[in-house]
Structure 1
Amino acid sequence: MNAVQTPAPIGEAAARKRLHVITWGCQMNVYDSGRMADVLAPLGYAPAAEPDGADMVILNTCHIRDKAAEKVFSELGRLRRLKEATGNRMILAVAGCVAQAEGAEILARAPYVDIVLGPQTYHRLPEMVAQASRAAGAVIETDFPPEEKFDHLPDSATPQGPTAFLTIQEGCDKFCSFCVVPYTRGAEASRPAGAILREARHLVAQGSREITLLGQNVNAWHGEAPGAATWGLGRLLRELAEIPGLTRLRYATSHPRDMDDDLVAAHRDIPSLMPFLHLPVQSGSDRVLAAMNRKHTADDYRRIIDRLRAARPDLALSSDFIVGHPGETDADHEATMALVRDVGFAQAYSFKYSPRPGTPAAGAPMQVAEDVKDSRLQALQALLREQQARFGAGCVGLDMPVLFTGPGRHPGQIVGRSPYLQPVHVSGGANLVGTESIVRIVASHPNSLAGTLVQERQIA
């Protein structure tokens, strides 16, 4: 298929079009929402803060959580009333992973939806909008197209601010038993290194000082590079670190099986690679990990953490945990608790297992009762909160660089990010936003830190 030719806006009518995007789910969905806005900007669509009266509303969906589709239909019911209030001139689109998985069902239950598009097709939005505007019937695009969508996207028109996301990898070949991602995002695909470096330079030119590289399995990235070479993530991080003005690098989300030696060494060698890593383990039980098709053991994970901490002693960790996977016993749950105690996490995300239609675990025997899942989750979260509080308390008294991202909740206050991704509030002027300064941490709160400026001279 040829590259989409986006028509230029015509006159004032085009310039007055208003676009509202509602985003649910992961950071990649946030990135995708921004790129959809970029694709539609040449058609005259400008961001609208509210859906009321908008010319187009996109609901960018996530399929990870329980009852995701029902939440979409509930939101669509609200949006239908807004669409009718515009005389049905509003174009209503459903994008993302629920659209990919439930496209036909969406149109059957909500025939007032104009466009249904999967996460691999949003570069085609201009032609979908043109078709929907002709009242030619609903448009559904949920196939995996033969062309690479990133080859057809314009440079981001809207600055993301001091911190930015950059998708470098999509899809998943791991086929964990509980996960829909391989079915909604497709096979693993890596963007070429040159395209990533170009977009990173563009983000820095727009004022971004920290970039988080995104992917369903971001450390599986192996991209085409200059000279017909193929780079891994470690090499890409080294190249990104050479971009002037880019002072911080992060990446998410990783898989333990893709944590190779060069990437571990990158944590040792690259000062701008922040000492905070999200590395999901899901369970501490080898039996459950095998049932999940994770293809690593709990001790494999422990050894990876040992290697990372040897390379970067100040590294702090985050992870994902699922309790109540089919067949999980009390002993399996205790193995997870033991792994958490052994490793120690500065932050973590933990959830009850919920069946995702079409995944192997959804039809597995020995489903765990909801009350058992509840009690296990409460115990795990109590331990994780204790570890997070202990990590935060350990930051008190330290001087650490903070990248300021915007105003705080109170007058005269600004907020920034610590190297460990904690929000840090200090008294300071708006002129510090977008810069990095040394802050002395004076207090720790459940989800943030408070500090005072030690060095007001801008580092970045």
Structure 2
Amino acid sequence: MLDLLHTTKTHDETRQGEALDMVPTGASNGRKLYIESYGCQMNFSDSEIVASILIDRGFETTKDFKDADVVFINTCSIRENAEQRVRNRLKEFESAKARNPGMIVGVLGCMAERLKAKFLEEEKLVDVVVGPDAYRDLPNLIEQVDDGAKAVNVLLSREETYADISPVRLNSNGVAAFISIMRGCDNMCSFCVVPFTRGRERSRDPQSIVQEAKNLFEAGYREVTLLGQNVDSYKHAQKNEDGSESAATVNFATLLAMVAEVNPLLRVRFSTSHPKDITDEVLHTIARYENICNYIHLPVQSGNSRILDIMNRTYDREWYIDRVDAIRRIIPGCAISTDVITGFCTETEEEHQDTISMMEYVKYDFAYMFAYSERPGTLAAKRFEDDVPEEVKKRRLTEIVALQRTHGHERIQDYVGKVHRVLIEGLSKRSDQHYCGRNDQNAMLVFPLDARYKAGDYVDVLGESCTSATLIGKIIN
């Protein structure tokens, strides 16, 4: 699964109004599209695919749902709170639809896949329900609604990768972009809905990935993030001249190298790695290429082997520690972030302390942390009782959040007094007199404007001080 789905209440799960105003590439149909995305990076990437499909059919995009003829919410199902946020947002659309009865409201993504046609019964406002593998069918589904019907397509696919669709970069800073390299998930973590909402794992043709990276670089982008539920399991069989499958395959380490070789000025990041699959070959590839960032998101979920077993994570505490040790050995200075679940079914206080001790061992740079939330249809919901009291979950969550704040601050303090190669992403959110950008380890730096440089340029920044999560510095080159 793409573990960046798991977020704390302090990590914003939603960026609203993702679409920019754009002129359609085909003949305009006079209709405006608004897309709002919730959840993980994969959802934001999927919204760019949806925009591309509909812009080709004559739609223009708008930042304001009140001006839209078609409104889509791309949804997340990883937590009950995420689903409730979608339902609350739909209620906010009611007044807009009352003023414009012809407005089409649709739900896309994981929540649509989980609830299917039931969503139309629960939310009378919704006209269209579309799963992650059915976005090519959107023009047809919109026509069905135009004809007075409700429309649903939640069929999952074993082949769909949208490899031939060039995504429209929504709300882009023009510097960093996502590239989806695979879809679906074959892992069956007992707490996770992703295998049921995104289907089986399939990898995209590596040449199409490399070409997308080349196109982005030529358009001025200087950073790409390769996305997959479990990027380390990427595997694509090569084709012979007659079209048959070759014995040769491209694995994730090879793909990383192929993308890194597009241009040394193109930074490469990726998400998410699975502890059971990340190999020394991948780590050596990262170490070999200067433009592959020294940052790995390695979800632990729990520091206790028994809990990991009933989570069906297919590794234990010792295996995870071995992978961390390998990262530290092969890529010195590599930043590591993680996901943590507190209060999973039957978790004891002693087992919770194992998670605390794991955090102390690794000292993560970042972490996405949350209390366990039972999701209908998952293996955990079928097999185990959600028996840890809510007040215990919350107390344990508070403990790990406090510990991570300490570790995160320690990590960022280590960067003070050092020079960092930073890719300027744009103006700081808090000051139009400062630039912001990230270093190789994914730490954010803020530094004064310099007329010699612009977004997309690399600069050397001396870290002079820090807040709990941000480095403050100045350009020195």
- In the other structure, the counterpart of 1:438 is 460
SS at 2:215 equivalent:
helix
Residue of 420, 423, 431 corresponding to 1:403? 423
The structure richer in helix per residue is: 1
Deviation of 1:10 (Å): 4.0
Deviation of 1:146 (Å): 5.8
% same residue: 34
- In the other structure, the counterpart of 1:35 is 49
Once the two structures are superposed, residues 291-327 of structure 1 have per-residue CA deviations (whole angstroms, 9 ceiling, x without a partner) of: 1011101110110111111111111110000000001
Deviation of 1:198 (Å): 1.2
- In the other structure, the counterpart of 1:280 is 299
Q: Select the structure with the greater relative contact order (CA < 8 A; seq sep ≥ 6).
A: 2
- In the other structure, the counterpart of 1:319 is 338
In structure 2, do the counterparts of structure 1 residues 79 and 366 end up closer, same or farther at CA, with 3 Å as the change threshold? closer
Deviation of 1:423 (Å): 1.9
Distance 1:324 1:19 in 2: 41
Once the two structures are superposed, residues 245-283 of structure 1 have per-residue CA deviations (whole angstroms, 9 ceiling, x without a partner) of: 643111101111111231121122111111111000100
After TM superposition, the structure 1 stretch with the greater mean CA deviation from structure 2, 118-127 or 286-295, is: 118-127
- In the other structure, the counterpart of 1:148 is 160
SS at 1:289 equivalent:
helix
Distance 1:157 1:321 in 2: 31
- In the other structure, the counterpart of 1:370 is 390
Pair 1:416 & 2:407 matched: no
Tell me, yes or no, if the aligned pair for 1:403 and 1:418 is still in contact at 8 Å.
yes
Tell me, yes or no, if the aligned pair for 1:176 and 1:294 is still in contact at 8 Å.
yes
Deviation of 1:131 (Å): 2.4
Tell me, yes or no, if the aligned pair for 1:328 and 1:368 is still in contact at 8 Å.
yes
- In the other structure, the counterpart of 1:99 is 112
Once the two structures are superposed, residues 29-68 of structure 1 have per-residue CA deviations (whole angstroms, 9 ceiling, x without a partner) of: 1111111111111222222111112111110100012244
After superposition, residues 114-129 of structure 1 pair within 5 angstroms as 114-129=127-142
Residue of 199, 203, 208 corresponding to 2:221? 208
Tell me, yes or no, if the aligned pair for 1:19 and 1:48 is still in contact at 8 Å.
yes
TM-score, reference length from structure 2: 0.89
Distance 2:159 2:318 in 1: 41
Tell me, yes or no, if the aligned pair for 1:193 and 1:224 is still in contact at 8 Å.
no
Tell me, yes or no, if the aligned pair for 1:123 and 1:149 is still in contact at 8 Å.
no
In structure 2, do the counterparts of structure 1 residues 102 and 384 end up closer, same or farther at CA, with 3 Å as the change threshold? same
Distance 1:126 1:314 in 2: 48
Distance 2:450 2:142 in 1: 43
Deviation of 1:156 (Å): 3.9
Deviation of 1:157 (Å): 6.5
Deviation of 1:452 (Å): 0.1
Pair 1:73 & 2:87 matched: yes
Aligned residues: 444
Alpha carbon RMSD of aligned pairs, Å?
1.8
Deviation of 1:193 (Å): 0.6
Pair 1:194 & 2:214 matched: no
In structure 2, do the counterparts of structure 1 residues 47 and 226 end up closer, same or farther at CA, with 3 Å as the change threshold? same
Distance 1:245 1:261 in 2: 22
- In the other structure, the counterpart of 2:59 is 45
Residue of 306, 313, 321 corresponding to 1:294? 313
Pair 1:139 & 2:159 matched: no
In structure 2, do the counterparts of structure 1 residues 370 and 91 end up closer, same or farther at CA, with 3 Å as the change threshold? same
Deviation of 1:149 (Å): 4.3
Deviation of 1:104 (Å): 1.8
- In the other structure, the counterpart of 1:4 is none
- In the other structure, the counterpart of 2:283 is 264
Pair 1:450 & 2:463 matched: no
Pair 1:164 & 2:177 matched: yes
In structure 2, do the counterparts of structure 1 residues 223 and 8 end up closer, same or farther at CA, with 3 Å as the change threshold? same
Tell me, yes or no, if the aligned pair for 1:220 and 1:233 is still in contact at 8 Å.
yes
Once the two structures are superposed, residues 437-459 of structure 1 have per-residue CA deviations (whole angstroms, 9 ceiling, x without a partner) of: 1000111112211110011xxxx
Distance 1:44 1:143 in 2: 25
Deviation of 1:429 (Å): 4.1
SS at 1:378 equivalent:
helix
Tell me, yes or no, if the aligned pair for 2:158 and 2:202 is still in contact at 8 Å.
no
Tell me, yes or no, if the aligned pair for 1:267 and 1:308 is still in contact at 8 Å.
no
Amino acid paired to 1:180: V
Deviation of 1:366 (Å): 5.8
Tell me, yes or no, if the aligned pair for 2:157 and 2:199 is still in contact at 8 Å.
no
In structure 2, do the counterparts of structure 1 residues 306 and 151 end up closer, same or farther at CA, with 3 Å as the change threshold? closer
Deviation of 1:17 (Å): 2.4
Residue of 378, 392, 404 corresponding to 1:384? 404
SS at 1:43 equivalent:
coil
- Ranges in structure 2 where 5+ consecutive residues have no aligned partner: 1-23, 241-245
Tell me, yes or no, if the aligned pair for 1:318 and 1:346 is still in contact at 8 Å.
yes
TM-score, reference length from structure 1: 0.92
SS at 1:284 equivalent:
coil
Pair 1:23 & 2:43 matched: no
